[in-house]
Structure 1
Amino acid sequence: MQGFLDPAILFFVFGLFAGAVKSNLEIPAQISRFLSLYLLMALGLKGGFALARSGLTPEVAMTLGCALVLAVLVPLAGYALLRRFVSGYDAAAIAATYGSVSAVTFITAVQHLETQGIAFGGHMAAAMALMESPAIVMAVLLANRVRQRASLAAAGAHVPSPGATGRLLHESLTDGSQLLLLGAMVIGLLSGADGEAAMQPFTGDLFKGMLAFFLLDMGLVAARNMGELRGKPAWLLAYAVAAPPVHAGLALLMGVVLGISAGNTALLMVLAASASYIAVPAVVRHAIPEARPSLYIGMSLGLTFPLNILLGIPVYTAVAKHVLA
Structure 2
Amino acid sequence: MKQKRSLGKPKSNISDAIMEVTAKPLKTQMSESTENVSGSRKMPKQAAACRDFKHKSVRICEPKLEMERVREVEDESEAISLTTGENHPRPNRRLTDFVFHDEDGKPRPVEMLEVIDIFITGLILPLEETNEKDKVQGVRCERFGPLESWAISGYDDGSPVIWVSTEIADYDCVKPANSYKNLYCLFYEKAHACIDIYQKLSRSCGGDPNQSLEELLAKVVRSMSGRNNFPRGMSVRDFIVSQGEFIFYQLIGLDETSNKNEQMFSELPVLAALRDESKKNKGCVVGELIPSDRVLDTNMEIRDKA
Q: Which has the higher strand share?
A: 2
**Which bin holds the TM-score, normalised by the shorter protein?**
under 0.3
TM-score where L is the length of structure 2? 0.24
TM-score (norm 1): 0.23
Structure number having the greater helix percentage = 1
